[in-house]
Amino acid sequence: MSTNLFAANAYASVQGIAQGLDRGGGAAGRLGGAGGERPDFGAMVQGALGSVAEAGRAAEAQASAAAAGRADVVDVVTAVAESEAALNTLVAVRDRVIQAYEEIMRMPI
């Protein structure tokens, strides 16, 4: 089932980022951190937005290739489903960030 594959890929991506942050390298450079410093929250959000945008571009490219007769419909459906899963994940994270912000704002001083 393709949903299991998407979940496994998402889990592997998060694990790779977490391992890079623990080592102070690897993903830190990709997410905006320089050298041994940890990346900031804004850089991580920007990286997530970039990956969602890239998934959307890949889905659009597959759809264009299918319209020109150079791609299989299964590839198009897979690319669109990956793009949709990435966008849904981004929206869920956004909702949780907003919920956390609202909860912080309700805290008494």
Within 10 A of 6 (CB to CB), how many other CB atoms are there?
17
Q: How does pLDDT run across 52-90, given as a tens digit for each residue?
A: 899 999 999 999 999 998 988 998 999 999 999 989 988
> Distance between CA atoms of 76 and 3, rounded to whole angstroms?
15
Helix (H) or strand (E) holding 82: helix 73-106
Q: Of 5-14, 22-31, 98-107, where does the model show the most confidence?
A: 98-107
Q: For residues 5 and 1, which has the higher predicted lDDT (pLDDT)?
A: 5
pTM reported for the whole predicted model = 0.59
- pLDDT recorded at residue 46: 85
